[in-house]
Chains A and B, each alone.
Chain A
Amino acid sequence: MHVSAFKIFFQTGAWLVIAFLVLPILVVLPISFTDTSYIGLPKEGLSLQHYANYFTDPDWLNATWTSVWVGLVVATCASVLGTAFAIGCWFLSDRAAMVARWILITPILVPPVVQSLGFYRFWVKLGLIDTHVGVILAHTLLALPYVSISVFAALSNLDRNLPRAARSLGASVMQTVWAVVVPAARPGIATGFIFAFIVSFDEIVGVLFITVRNVQTLPKMIWEGIQDNIDPTIAAVATLLIVLTLIATAIGVLRRT
């Protein structure tokens, strides 16, 4: 029948799209358990040797630790600055604030390569090449729009009379911000913090441009791993990251329902 042919066509299409999205991710799973010493599917049996390698190799552990603490510092800086920016714009809510908002989200619009080139030229001048401060600064700039956008979203439905109410009740501007606006923005700040962390944690283009030896992050180590040795530990790291993401997502979903 005509209708069912139509249906089959679209169902097949939908499954193909899902396979296209998920298979590349799933393929790392068997590779991570391979018993070979190069990237490939398991030959004789499954092995945990590459996981063991990850957890014992100081290079991998150091790179992971760097990504984590850089990510946390970036998320903190971006949350403070982005929240302050969003709350300021919310208070003004005039033309200038609109323009400022657009300017702030340009890091999302500009191609990463172009941006990284900019960082490179600039960081050379400032002497920030291959320093943790340089990476933190660059990542904070990249993560800022995510924080401010999610704080804007949290504030968008907030009654504009709230600050007036607080002031008429005796609160100064600062007290109003602390007691009334920041608590209302808190869900947005939390979301922004997580986003900022993720942005920093898996950022690679910028890191490749502005670091050499001194700073080693997890994405950079994975990248270099594929370049010059075909160590399956990469697959083990990737699998661990996927599992972590799944757990975090599951917790998020469960907490919401």
Chain B
Amino acid sequence: MNEPILSIKNAVKRYGPVNALDGVNLDVAEGEFLTLLGPSGSGKTTLLSAIAGFIALDEGQLALRSADITGKPPEHRDFGMVFQGYALFPTMTVRENVGFPLKIRKRSASEIEKRVNEALEMVQMSAFADRMPSQLSGGQQQRIALARAMSFDPQILLLDEPLSALDKKLRADLQWELKDLHQKLGVTFIYVTHDQDEALSMSDRIVILKDGAIQQEGDPNTLYDQPRNRFVADFLGKSNFLEAAVVAGSGASFQCETKGAAFTLDTQTPCREGETITLALRPERLRLGLPGEEFVPGTVKQVSYLGERCQVLVTREGGDEFLVSRPTWKTDITPTPGLQVSIGWDADAPVVLAPA
């Protein structure tokens, strides 16, 4: 990475016994779209608030382009922020809202006029310049909030679940627009969400948080294909978990066994003979076959159709359940509850998880 635009060193924030941030280290690259992803209460808002300067860290440092900004008040940080509830100023028109940061910075009237028009154009809201925020729909308000946060060319744009109050269709539209804007403007985005689909579809890089600590960070592909631990594998997409014993093997190929079913495992993760490992298997990597065709026998418990894909829940003796996701067009087997089947996977499909 080149010099990071923002660098967070060992950030700690405590609320009584709760560690809202528990030693977070993070570098943000210039121009990237970084997403903070995590379940409710994982510390996403706390981290973003600390970056914005709304809360003081108990420990740790923040640096903007190597200059320490740990104690700098928010108004001097020059970061735009978009809030979940939009937070438009209710007594100002759309134009006044968007022009607010420029007016505070004492820019000339003509410059404010020009910049506001540009910003409104950018979010396709020029026609609404003289309305009050209360006369706008949620999606329109969110666009204005975005225009306001960008009208003064902030160093970084912080977004705290900006789309979570919108309905699904609108959310999808705005996701594209946000992504588009990010590409057009080249500003660094730090985006908070608890919606994994949103994170996967928009981000250059995702940081997964849990209990105030980073679980894993990386680009969407890496996180999805190589989750480091059970939490990540479960949180980002769906996973099946499987305990298996390493029977033989070395280097990058091992023979494994799970409750009588033997299979080959190709992995870069070092394993030792005799060790018990936990594997994560994506539902779409599982194959469904007739009894005997694959190596794990089981019974179909439930089937649900999701349009282009179909999810089959298979139980095997001993109680383990496997979720299999297969394209609906595959008609070699028509899974119905009670049907005897078998399950298999490619040798490189399982991911070895770090011990919890």
Contact check, A164 vs B54: say whether CB atoms are below 8 A apart.
yes
Give the interface residue-count category, chain A.
Answer: 10 to 19
**Stretch among A39-47, A129-137, A172-180 lining the B interface:** A172-180
B75 contacts which chain A residues (CB < 8 A)? 167-172
- Assuming the contacts A169-B101, A169-B104, A170-B75, asked whether A164 and B89 have C-beta atoms less than 8 A apart, the reply is no
Whether B89 contacts A168 by the Cβ 8 Å rule is no
**B79 close to chain A: CB less than 8 A:** yes
Question: Looking at chain B, what size class is its interface with the partner chain?
Answer: 20 to 34
Q: Across the interface, which residues of B come within 8 angstroms of A162, CB to CB? A: 87, 89
* Complex Cα–Cα for A165 and B53 (A): 11
Partner of A159, one of B73, B81, B87, B92: B87
Q: Chain B residues near A175 (CB, 8 Å)? A: 104
Q: Which of B21-80 contact A (CB under 8 A)?
A: 49, 52-54, 73-75, 77-80
B296 to chain A: closest CB distance in Å? Answer: 51
A166-B81 contact given A171-B75, A184-B90, CB 8 Å threshold: no
Does B210 touch A at the CB level, under 8 Å? no
Shortest Cβ gap from B20 to chain A (Å): 17
Q: Distance in Å from the Cβ of B153 to the closest Cβ of chain A?
A: 12
Is B100 an interface residue when CB atoms closer than 8 A count as contact? yes
Residues of B within 8 A of A159 (CB): 83, 85-87, 90
Residue A88, interface by CB 8 Å: no
Would you call A118 an interface residue if the criterion is a C-beta within 8 Å of the partner chain's C-beta atoms?
no
* Residue B2, interface by CB 8 Å: no
B149 within 8 A of A: yes
Interface of chain B, main secondary structure:
loop
- CB 8 Å contact bits of A132-150 with B (1 = contact, 0 = none): 0000000000000000000
From A161, A169, A171, residue with most partner B Cβ within 10 Å? A169
Whether B87 and A170, one on each chain, are in contact in the complex, defined by CB atoms closer than 8 angstroms, is no
CA distance A158 to B87 in the complex (A): 9
| Distance between Cα atoms of A164 and B50 in the complex (Å) | 12
Which residues of B have CB within 8 Å of A179?
89, 100
Whether the pair B87, A164 counts as a contact (CB closer than 8 A) is yes
Q: A residues within 8 A CB of B77?
A: 168
Are A164 and B90 in contact, CB atoms less than 8 angstroms apart? no
**A164 vs B89: C-alpha distance in the bound complex, in angstroms?**
11
The answer to the question of A183 belonging to the interface, with a C-beta cut-off of 8 Å to chain B, is yes
A159–B89 Cα gap in the complex (Å)? 9
Q: Which residues of B contact A169 (CB under 8 A)?
A: 75, 80, 100-101, 104, 148-149, 152
Are A168 and B104 interface neighbours, CB within 8 A?
no
- Enumerate 23 A-B pairs (CB-CB under 8 Å) in ascending A order: A158-B90, A159-B83, A159-B90, A161-B83, A161-B84, A162-B89, A164-B49, A164-B52, A164-B83, A165-B83, A165-B87, A167-B53, A167-B73, A168-B75, A168-B77, A168-B81, A169-B152, A171-B75, A172-B75, A179-B100, A183-B92, A184-B90, A186-B91
Residues in chain B within 8 A of chain A (CB atoms): 49, 52-54, 73-75, 77-81, 83-92, 100-101, 104-105, 148-149, 152, 158
